[in-house]
Structure 1
Amino acid sequence: MIDYDLGKLDRRLLGATARVNATNLFDTHFPTRQSGYCYAGERRQVIGTLSYRW
């Protein structure tokens, strides 16, 4: 996860935060085993979030 306080860019944005969270960034294929069953691993996932706290 990477986050950035947008208030550092401009004082009018105090309380605003931008975040990016990524899993399996290089989209590596791998099997996952659970309870004796085999599944394909999760694919690449990237989620961006903007939040504001007042």
Structure 2
Amino acid sequence: MTTRMILYADEGKVLTNGEIYGKEIYLAEGLTAESFREITDAEYEAVTKANEHSGEIG
């Protein structure tokens, strides 16, 4: 059985690598913890709204 690394965002934050966003990230093969950073919930909401308007999310 392969042990998968799980990343958890601090309270009020969201983890992202620019494509994936989440409070809890299960690293898939080929992804590293170093490729993720934390952004604030407000930053995440702004990205989500901008992407909804451009048709990328929704």
Q: What TM-score do you get using the length of structure 1 for normalisation?
A: 0.23
Structure having the higher Rg: 1
In terms of fraction of residues, the more strand-rich structure is 1
| Larger helix share, 1 or 2 | 2
